């Protein structure tokens, strides 16, 4: 088991950097806690609701940041965060 995590993990990670670039590869580093939770569950550790909610949020964040999921611009322009960002840009 140590061979897989210490040697093959780094080899595959470096291969991913080579294939899709460091920027996109770094997004998937956020999935490490999710995979750890899944492995813990497979071993028999109970999972709490907050862990599942967190895992779903992480997966949605990775999918959104990588471009798999797109948020329509109309939703973004009507959101409070967009309006705060415009105000902040004007201040700087």
H/E segment holding residue 5: none
Q: Characterize 54-67 residue by residue with b for buried, 16 or more Cβ atoms within 10 angstroms of its Cβ, and e for exposed.
A: ebeebeeebeeeee
Please give the structure tokens belonging to residue 5: 């995590």
pLDDT single digits (tens) 31-47: 888 988 998 999 999 99
pLDDT single digits (tens) 35-87: 889 989 999 999 999 999 999 999 998 888 888 887 766 666 666 666 666 66
């Amino acid at each position: 088991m140590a061979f897989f995590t210490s040697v093959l993990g780094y080899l595959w990670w470096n291969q991913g950097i080579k294939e899709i670039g460091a920027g996109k590869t770094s997004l998937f580093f956020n999935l490490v806690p999710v995979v750890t939770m899944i492995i813990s569950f497979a071993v028999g550790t109970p999972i709490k609701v907050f862990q599942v909610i967190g895992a779903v949020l992480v997966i949605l964040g990775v999918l959104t940041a990588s471009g798999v999921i797109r948020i329509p611009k109309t939703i973004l322009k009507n959101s409070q965060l967009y309006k705060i960002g415009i105000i902040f840009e004007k201040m700087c």
